[in-house]
Chain A
Amino acid sequence: MPISKLIERLRARLDDPTYPEITEWKNAHPGGKAIGCFPIYAPVEMVRAAGMLPVLIAGAAGGIGLDEADGCLQSFVCSVGRSTLELKLDGFLEKLDGMMFPSICEISRGLSGVWARHDPGKPVIYIHFPQNTRSESAKSYLMSELNRVKDILESIAGAPITYDALLSSFARYNRRAELLARLDILRAEHPARFSGSQSYVLRLAGMRIPPEEHSAILEEALRELEDTPEGKTPKLRMVMLGAFCERPPVLMLESIEENGIAIVADDVLLGQAWWKKPLELTGDPIENLAGHYLGEAVPNAVVYRHDGRPCDSLKLMMEKTHADGVLIASAKFCHPAHHDNSCIVRECEKHSIPYLRIEYEEIEQAFESIRLQVEALLEARERLPFAGTGH
C-alpha cells in the first residue's frame, strides 16, 4: 500500500481539540495520567517513565477562535502561545493532570505563569534548562532541576520513577528517534517518493501518543515506502529552517511542494529529534539526561551556542541532504527565529545559496502568496546562478 494511504489516515485524526487520544489512553489505562508538554523539548522521557502519557500541546492549528486567550495575552504573542492558552481556557485540556513548560523563550515562561493562575489545582512545571551549557556547574544544576521535575511527576503519578523505568523509557525514545532518522535519510535520498509534507504528518501523528505507538506507525511507514513508487523529480531541493516550535499548516508545506520544491530536511517538531545521538542506557539516567542535554542537543535557536555560529544547523543539513537552497520559514512573532534569520540570510548570501523567506501563522489556510514566491524562485533559479528572494 503506498504511503499516501497511511498519511491520509493519520491526517484525518490530527488536531481534534477535544484530545480523544487522552481519553483513549485513560480508558485503556485506568488511573492513568497525562502530562501536557509545551514545545520544543521537555523531558518527555521522564513522563513516560512515570507510566504517564506525554502530550505535546503546541497550539490548535487554527482550529479554534482565540477570544479568551486574547483577553489574557497581547496580540504580539505568537499564535502557538495564544492558541495553547485558548485550549486551556476553553476547557479542552481538563483531561491533563499537569503541564510542563521548557525555558525556550519569554512566551513559554510567561505562559506558564498565566496558565498556573488559571489552573491552580494542577501542577505547572516550568523547567529552567541551562543556557550556559559549557559551564562546569551546569550539569549539577540541571540534575537538580531534573530531580525537582521527577519529584513533581512522581507526586502526580502516585508512584516513584525508578532508574530502570527511566532507562527503559530512554530506549523507547531512542527507537523512535532512530526510525525518524531513517525516514529523514529516505526523504533526503528519495524526495520524489517521500515528501516533506508527508514526513511532517508522520511526526504530527506522534504528538499525542506514547513513543512506542508512534514507533509502530513509523515502522509501518517505512514498510509502505518500499511499495511507494518514485514521483516527479523535484526542481529544487531545499531545507526548511525556523519552524521549530509553532507548527506550520500542513497545507503550507504541500503548497510549496506542489510547485516542484522538495523539502528534504527541516526542523519542525524539533523536540522529536532533539538528540544528536541516542540516550545512554546504563548508569544514572538523571545524570545521563542532564549530560545529554548539555552536550548532545542538536543546534537550535533556543539554546545558546558557545561557538557563536547560529547557522551550524544550516550547513550540516545542507551537506547531509545535498540541498540546493533554504526556506527560512518562521512563525510570526517568533523572536528566536527572527533573530537567527538575519544570520541565515547573511550565510546564504555569502555562499550564493538560493533562499526564500516566509512568515506564517498556524491559523493560515491560504498560501497563494507563498506559491507565487516559490514560482518566482524557481524561475529565477533557472535564469541566474544565484537569485535570493529574501524580502
Chain B
Amino acid sequence: MEDKARSAAGLLVDRYFRELDSEENRDRKVVYLFTSGGVSELFRTFDFRIVMPEINAIHCARRNLSVDLIHAGEDLGYSEGVCSYVKSDLGLMLGPTKGCAPFGKIPPPDLIVITHGGCSTYIKWAEALSREFGCPVRMIDVPFVREEGATEFDRAYVLGQIRELIPDCEKISGTRFDIDKLGEILKLTAQTVELWIKLLDYGKKRPSPLDGFFEAVFYMSPMTLWRGTKEAVSYYELAVEQMENRAKTRFSPVQVEKFRLLFEGSPPWPRFGEFGEMFWQWGAVAAASTYVRLGCACEGLEMGPENPMEFLAYLAGLSYYNWSYGKKVRFLEKLAKEYDVDAIIANSVRSCRPVSIGLLDLRNHFAREMGIPTLFLESDIADPSYFSSVQILDRVNTFLQGLTERKKGRPRRQKA
C-alpha cells in the first residue's frame, strides 16, 4: 500500500527548505528557533522565515552528511563530547559549506530565540551562532515540568517572556504585532495537534496500521516545520484518512504483526532505516513512541486558542524533553498499557542528555519492577560511529527471540 502520507510529508519538507532561500522570500527576516518549547506561531505572525538548527542537523544525518560536518564542527574547537547535532549544524553553517546543504541553503539569522525547554545545550548552540552572525539573541525559558504539571507561576513567567519578545520582533521584522492574526494561526495549530494525536491513537489498534516510531517520525515533519499553517492541517487530514483506510483493511506496516513495542529515546538518524529493519523483520511494530510527542502535546490539549498569548505560553510548556523523570515514567506506564505493548525499547543516544539520562534506570524499573521486557540500546542521533550495527542487531535479535519464547508461555490476547 502506497504511503501517501510519507510522500506528502517529504514534499512539504522539500518545499520548506526551498522557500527558506527563495527569491520571493529574501526580504523576510530569519529567526532561528529550537523545537523544544518552540513557539513558532509567534514568529509566523511577524512573517519571519523560521530555521530550526536541529532540523538542519537531522536532515544532514539522514542524508549521511553528518560525519564530515561533525569533523568541521570539531575543527572549530568543539570536542568529542559535545552534542553531534551542534557540531553538525555548526559545521554546516560555520564550516566550509557556509550553510549550503544538498537539501537547501540555510539563510543566516536576523534573530535567534533560545527556547530553553529541557536542553541547556540550546543556549551554547545559540551563543556560538550569534557570535558568528552578530545577531541578537533572546530567550524563552520554560520551567521544568514536575509531575503535577505546570503551575500558574510557570505559565506567568513564560507568558511574560513571550510578551517581552514582541517589541524585538516588531523592530526586526518591520511588522506590527497582530494578535488576531496570532489567534488565527493558533486555531490552525490546535487543529493540527488534535489531528496528530488522533493519528498516533491508531497505534492502539490491533494490528496497528501505523508504526508509531519508524513511520511516525516522518509524519512528524509537518508538525515541526509547518505548525500553524493550513498546509499542516491539510496534511494531517490526509494522514488520518490514510490510517483509517489502513485500519479498515487491517493493514500492518510489518505485514504480520507479532510484537507491539513502545520506543523511548531519539532515532539514530544516520542508520534509521537499518535500525527499523531490525525490528520489522521480526514483525515488531512500534505501536507508540515518545519521540514523536517531543515538541507538542503528548496527551491532547487542555486549553484552546481563545486567549492566544496564554495558549502560546501553554504550548511552550508541553515538550516531553522538559518533563521530570517521574512524569516521564508515569507517562510511559500509561502508554505501555493503553497501547498494549509487549516490550519497551529504550534507545539511549550519546548526544542527547535530556532524552537519554535515566534510560538505564528506566530499563530497570520497567523490566524488573513492572514486568515489561525492556531492551536498552546505545547509539547516537547524528554520529554514525556510535551505531554498531552488529552489536545492536545481535541485541535486538536476542531480545525478540526471548520475547517470542515468553509469548509462547502466555495465552494469546483477544482484542479488536
Kindly state whether residue B409 has any CB partner on chain A within 8 Å. Answer: no
Let me know if A110 and B353 touch, CB within 8 A: yes
**Which of B116, B151, B360 neighbours the largest number of chain A CB atoms within 10 Å of its CB?**
B360
Kindly state whether residue A346 has any CB partner on chain B within 8 Å. Answer: yes
Q: Among A27-35, A264-272, A334-342, A360-368, which stretch is in contact with chain B?
A: A334-342
Given contacts A308-B137, A338-B81, A342-B78, contact A109 B329 (CB under 8 A): no
Let me know if B130 and A73 touch, CB within 8 A: no
Min CB gap B234→A, angstroms:
36
Closest B residue by C-beta to A147: B153
Let me know if A74 and B357 touch, CB within 8 A: yes
Kindly state whether residue B320 has any CB partner on chain A within 8 Å. Answer: no
Min CB gap A79→B, angstroms:
13
Residues of chain A contacted by B78 (CB below 8 angstroms)? 338-339, 342
Min CB gap A361→B, angstroms:
12
Let me know if A76 and B153 touch, CB within 8 A: no
The 0/1 profile, CB within 8 Å of A marked 1, for residues 373-413 of chain B is: 00000100000000000000000000000000000000000
Given contacts A132-B139, A341-B77, contact A141 B364 (CB under 8 A): no
Min CB gap A141→B, angstroms:
4
Min CB gap A147→B, angstroms:
9
**Which of B137, B143, B157, B328 neighbours the largest number of chain A CB atoms within 10 Å of its CB?**
B157
Let me know if B82 and A336 touch, CB within 8 A: no
Residues of chain B contacted by A306 (CB below 8 angstroms)? 137, 139
Residues of chain B contacted by A77 (CB below 8 angstroms)? 357
Closest A residue by C-beta to B140: A132
Kindly state whether residue A275 has any CB partner on chain B within 8 Å. Answer: no
Which of B128, B354, B361 interacts with A73 by CB under 8 Å? B361
The 0/1 profile, CB within 8 Å of A marked 1, for residues 344-369 of chain B is: 00001010011011111100110000
Kindly state whether residue B114 has any CB partner on chain A within 8 Å. Answer: yes
The 0/1 profile, CB within 8 Å of A marked 1, for residues 103-144 of chain B is: 000000000001010111101100110110000010111011
Kindly state whether residue B79 has any CB partner on chain A within 8 Å. Answer: yes
Which of B118, B154, B326 interacts with A141 by CB under 8 Å? B154
Let me know if A140 and B116 touch, CB within 8 A: no
Kindly state whether residue B221 has any CB partner on chain A within 8 Å. Answer: no
Let me know if B157 and A137 touch, CB within 8 A: yes
Kindly state whether residue A259 has any CB partner on chain B within 8 Å. Answer: no
Given contacts A74-B357, A74-B359, A345-B77, contact A132 B378 (CB under 8 A): no
Kindly state whether residue B325 has any CB partner on chain A within 8 Å. Answer: yes
Kindly state whether residue B100 has any CB partner on chain A within 8 Å. Answer: no
Give the size of the chain B interface in residues (CB under 8 angstroms).
54
Let me know if A339 and B121 touch, CB within 8 A: yes
Let me know if A340 and B124 touch, CB within 8 A: yes
Q: For residues 218 through 261 of chain B, which have their beta carbon under 8 Å from a beta carbon of chain A? A: none
Let me know if B131 and A132 touch, CB within 8 A: no
The 0/1 profile, CB within 8 Å of A marked 1, for residues 140-182 of chain B is: 1101101000010110110111001000000000000000000
Residues of chain A contacted by B139 (CB below 8 angstroms)? 131-132, 135, 304, 306
Kindly state whether residue B83 has any CB partner on chain A within 8 Å. Answer: yes
Let me know if A72 and B157 touch, CB within 8 A: no
Kindly state whether residue A220 has any CB partner on chain B within 8 Å. Answer: no
Closest A residue by C-beta to B82: A338
Question: Complex: how many Å from CA A332 to CA B357?
Answer: 16
Kindly state whether residue B324 has any CB partner on chain A within 8 Å. Answer: yes
Closest A residue by C-beta to B158: A137
Residues of chain A contacted by B11 (CB below 8 angstroms)? none
Q: For residues 175 through 231 of chain A, which have their beta carbon under 8 Å from a beta carbon of chain B? A: none
Let me know if A109 and B361 touch, CB within 8 A: no
Which of B120, B141, B325 interacts with A130 by CB under 8 Å? B141
Let me know if A114 and B141 touch, CB within 8 A: no
Residues of chain A contacted by B131 (CB below 8 angstroms)? 308, 343
Let me know if A341 and B79 touch, CB within 8 A: yes
Residues of chain B contacted by A305 (CB below 8 angstroms)? 127
Q: For residues 117 through 158 of chain A, which have their beta carbon under 8 Å from a beta carbon of chain B? A: 117, 126, 128, 130-132, 135-138, 140-141, 144-145
B interface residues with partner A (beta carbon < 8 Å): 76-79, 81-83, 86, 114, 116, 118-121, 123-124, 127-128, 130-131, 137, 139-141, 143-144, 146, 151, 153-154, 156-157, 159-161, 164, 324-326, 328-329, 348, 350, 353-354, 356-361, 364-365, 378
A interface residues with partner B (beta carbon < 8 Å): 71-74, 76-77, 103, 105-107, 109-114, 116-117, 126, 128, 130-132, 135-138, 140-141, 144-145, 302, 304-306, 308, 310, 332-336, 338-343, 345-346
Given contacts A111-B357, A137-B164, 10 further A-B contacts (CB under 8 A): A71-B361, A72-B361, A76-B350, A113-B358, A135-B141, A144-B151, A308-B131, A335-B83, A335-B124, A338-B81
